[in-house]
Amino acid sequence: MTFRSGFACFVGRPNTGKSTLTNAIVGSKVAIMSDRPQTTRHAVRGIVHRADAQLVVVDTPGFHKPRTLLGERLNDVVRTTLAEVDVVAFCVPADDKVGPGDRFIAAELARVSRRTPVIAVVTKTDLVGRDVVAQRLVEVSELGDWAEIVPTSAVAGQQVDVLVDLLVARLPEGPELYPAGELTDEPEQVMVAELVREAALSGVRDELPHSIAVVVEEMAPREGRADLIDIAAVLYVERDSQKGIVIGTGGSRLRDVGATARRQIEALLGSQVHLDLRVKVAKDWQRDPKQLRRLGF
């Protein structure tokens, strides 16, 4: 039997369901999810193990016309990833008409498709009727010369296996790239920071999401307690007014963020966690090269 291994990346404008699809394909949560644009800020790898293949799925930040230095850096992450993978999946949501953002990405992918196959994926098909899905498939087919076009719903599990088969078929022959059972190569500290940011993004006002960055400053088992991990993390925002939004009245919102994040982190680490969260202002960090470096971008 021929064994295939390699990398596939999901690209699309912000909030097209790339992270939800990544998690559905891997069968475990490796990418944080939110209905806010630019939730994903770096390339997240999820690993699919099959008898005939090992598929490494790379979820990328939403490709967009950037307004800040952070936005430019996120686009750079996407372009770098596109140059390194064996197959690309271009995600367009069924519940939203094809627009300028999709055409911008299709133009970028036209250059990529000369050397790397691109599969167009119509996501979120569970949210609309069959007639709308059919209309979206026609619109997507007119955007470019795609290797395949597949309608899917990660939430309903529709055609996810079909998409995986199509991606695997385009991988080169080769050995396993990661040990059996490994689902991601994300460092635990990065995943913890992302889970805190996901909890913080839940329910905040629209002006806040891009302004939140999370840094885990300490993470270690408590002395004399093998069953308890102490984690200290800082949520950075850009303005004092945003700090108030994240903390909430009497600290109520930050407590909720901590409780939500702690449950997810305990599930990830398989251990009890004591989570200490603080909020600091890093003025206009999205536009400041020094602060972006300090925050890991």
Distance CA 250, CA 271 (A): 29
Judge if 78 and 160 occupy the same domain. Answer: yes
Phi, psi of 127 (to 5 degrees): -90, -10
Query: The pTM is what?
Result: 0.63
Judge if 159 and 224 occupy the same domain. Answer: no
Per-residue pLDDT for 189 more than 60? yes
- Asked if the structure places residue 152 within a domain, the reply is yes
- Asked if the structure places residue 197 within a domain, the reply is yes
Lowest mean pLDDT among 87-91, 128-132, 146-150, 180-184: 180-184
Q: For residues 78-102, give the mean pLDDT.
A: 89
Distance CA 97, CA 152 (A): 16
Q: Which of 80, 165, 91, 97 is nearest to 122 (CA)?
A: 91
**Which structural domain, as residue segments, surrounds residue 219?**
188-294
pLDDT for 31 equals: 56
pLDDT, tens digit (0-9, with 9 covering 90-100), for 44-78: 578 888 999 999 888 776 676 666 776 777 777 77
- Asked if the structure places residue 243 within a domain, the reply is yes
The pLDDT confidence band at residue 138, using thresholds 50, 70 and 90, is very high
pLDDT for 36 equals: 42
Query: How many other β-carbons are positioned within 10 Å of the β-carbon of residue 208?
Result: 19
Q: Rounded mean pLDDT of the chain?
A: 83
Judge if 230 and 274 occupy the same domain. Answer: yes
Judge if 122 and 262 occupy the same domain. Answer: no
What is the largest distance, in Å, between two alpha-carbon atoms of the chain? Answer: 63
The pLDDT confidence band at residue 137, using thresholds 50, 70 and 90, is very high
Judge if 163 and 197 occupy the same domain. Answer: no
Judge if 143 and 198 occupy the same domain. Answer: no
Q: For residues 183-192, give the mean pLDDT.
A: 74
- Asked if the structure places residue 26 within a domain, the reply is yes
Q: What percent of the chain has pLDDT over 90?
A: 36
Q: For residues 83-90, give the mean pLDDT.
A: 90
